[in-house]
Chain A
Amino acid sequence: MQPRPTLSSSCARAATAAEARFRISYPDMASRASRVIALDEPAAELVRELAGQPWHGGRFLVFDRLTPAGNGHGPAADAVLQLADGSPTLLSSELDGADVAVMIATPAARAEVASVIGDACASRWVMSAGLVVAGGAVAGGAVAGHAAAGHAAAGDAVAGDAVAGNAPAEAVVAALRPNAMVLVVLRSSDDVAGILSALRV
């Protein structure tokens, strides 16, 4: 193969500040179809609060109950979720056509619920992620809060140790691990809104 001369307009030189001005600008692509699902009651409070903010079309849902298989035995067939206004909907119908499902959980979450949602995502090739709020208060204005105080408090708690434990969240993290491609364990619910925003939910 003949080597080619490096031209001033080749891709590498186009990375200069001067050339960056000529990057084409156009409107955002279509939004992903995102579902944010609270797995337990403390997470539900957070999700209901988040639902009132402006998003990119994401649907905010709260787990209500599992629906049994047809014969009443064996694994749950589906789950009933609630929309932010309290109206019911089915997990299966929410995941049809979804691109990503983000599960929000606290240590109060049940493994069985994570398993049903994870399986439903896997069977539909829906990307699943989990945000576990491991510590700190979830409710009561947490969404609008700021983590500044959280840093100081966390540092005080385990000063002198490079690696902090997340013991209260172990069970829910273990439950979510097989059911979420990505898991983020958070000390505070303050970061949930920020992560969802970064993902353009």
Chain B
Amino acid sequence: MLSAEVNDLLTQTGPGTAMGELFRQYWIPALLASELAENDGPPVRVKLLSERLIAFRDSDGRYGLMDEFCAHRGVSLWFGRNEESGLRCSYHGWKYDVTGQCLEIPSEPDERHSSLCAKVRLRSYPLVRIGDVLWTHMGDPAQVPPLPEWEFALVPPEQSYTSKRWQECNWLQALEGGIDSSHVSWLHSGGLRTDPLFKGSQGNKYNFADMKVFFEVVESEGGLLVGARRNAEEGHYYWRVTPWVMPAFTMIPPRGDHPVHGHFWVPIDDENCWVYSYDYHPVRPLSETELQAMRDGHGVHNQYVPGTFRPLQNKDNDYLMDREAQRRGDTYSGIKGIAMQDASLQESMGPVVDRTKERLVSTDSGIIMARRKLWQAAEALRDHGTKPPGIDPAHHRIRSVAIVLPADAPFADSCREALSVRPGQRHASV
């Protein structure tokens, strides 16, 4: 349960809001690199943290992310012409470079042209490619943090795959699903048996053999470690450890030699978010079979309405609910696919869930702690200028873990090495 004031604080991320300022401390995903695949390609409309932006890649391969609207008459630059190292408004020909600096105002006399141009600059943000993602920092340009060092984005390209989807609800209720390990045994039980990116691991057998999950939540430097344990062989526990790094990164514990996957949850506005879903393997290329499964929407990925990032299963078609599959037990909720099983339920809560009415139980402790850390960090930043956790790239060098440990072993300390990125070494997984 949260008060209405705290719920507002955590869910509102526009300019000037406490949580919005928190998000603006970090490098966050802005687009997939594939959305700006070529120089002078079409510009792309981007909405992030309630700001409408336009992204483009100029003739020299430089990436730009700036105010969507021309400084002249407020026309959307999505209609613009991306040419000769700048984006030109289709209305009167005003032209901007990737920093938002106006380069040309064709209607002005040559004598005054350069001085007037110098006074016109659209708000812009840096846009940097790391892995399959273009990252931006929307905060103070004088305080840009070091670039992110998430392993999924740093491994060779053939070892990683990232997709994104539009989710029609506030970012926080989507993120909370990534921290809430207790729903997996229910909502995703069908997927553990059938999904090509999940099935077949030893860990799954522990999952099915012991439905009574115990949870342990431990604070980490960047956020939290949420450990879920089940009985394994005599005197041992099977641990699945999910890291959450502030504000919006989660990594699902691996299964066997399957690629590891996880998410970034990025606010579009207060009622919509982007869910970036990555899959990678630390030491080997993804197989063609695995890649095809990801493209086909298995695992944490999804199928799309053609030409969009809107899931094919969406609220306009009741997520293609299949009651027969639900009755047979193929899926627990009747919705196909792990990603859309989550999204359908989270969207059903409404655009911004009213947390004053919820009835949390102790197995929700990971969610409770994550909210508290976000709340405390947002207030500490607002009131004292304290930099929040999760900015330091050291906090990014983290892995999820699936491991069998002796019953008396504390998971966080026992897995200390396995929870850290070790380039060239495989992840800890059973």
B-binding residues in A (CB < 8 A): 1, 6, 10-13, 15-17, 20, 23, 28-29, 100, 102, 127, 129, 146-148, 151-152, 154-155, 158-167, 170, 173-174, 177-178, 180-187, 191, 194-195, 197-200
Contacts and interface: CB of A to CB of B under 8 A. Distances in A.
Contacts of A185: 216-219, 412
B219 A187 contact: yes
A154 B416 CA distance: 17
Nearest to B319: A12
Contact of B380 (A29, A148, A160): A148
Could you say which of A102, A146, A185 has the most chain B C-beta atoms within 10 Å of its C-beta?
A185
A146 B221 CA distance: 18
A164 B220 contact: yes
Nearest to A198: B368
B383 interface: yes
B115 interface: no
Nearest to A148: B380
From B357, B376, B392, name the one whose CB has the most chain A CB atoms within 10 angstroms. B376
B392 A159 contact: yes
A134 B359 CA distance: 27
A166 B219 CA distance: 9
A177 B216 contact: yes
Contacts of B350: 15-17, 20, 23
Nearest to A99: B361
Contacts of A11: 318, 348
B376 A16 contact: no
A148 B394 contact: no
Contacts, number: 175
Contacts of A158: 221
B343 to A, nearest CB: 11
A94 B84 CA distance: 77
B143 interface: no
A163 B428 CA distance: 15
Contacts of B271: 17
B323 interface: yes
B398 A162 contact: yes
B215 interface: yes
Closest 3 CB pairs of A and B: A148-B380, A129-B362, A12-B315
B405 to A, nearest CB: 11
A162 B413 contact: no
A127 B362 contact: yes
Given A127-B361, A162-B397, A165-B416, A12 B318 contact: yes
28 contacts: A6-B318, A11-B348, A12-B319, A15-B350, A16-B350, A20-B351, A23-B354, A127-B362, A146-B376, A147-B376, A148-B384, A159-B392, A161-B394, A161-B420, A163-B221, A165-B413, A166-B413, A167-B413, A170-B410, A173-B216, A180-B214, A183-B214, A194-B368, A195-B368, A197-B1, A198-B2, A199-B368, A200-B1
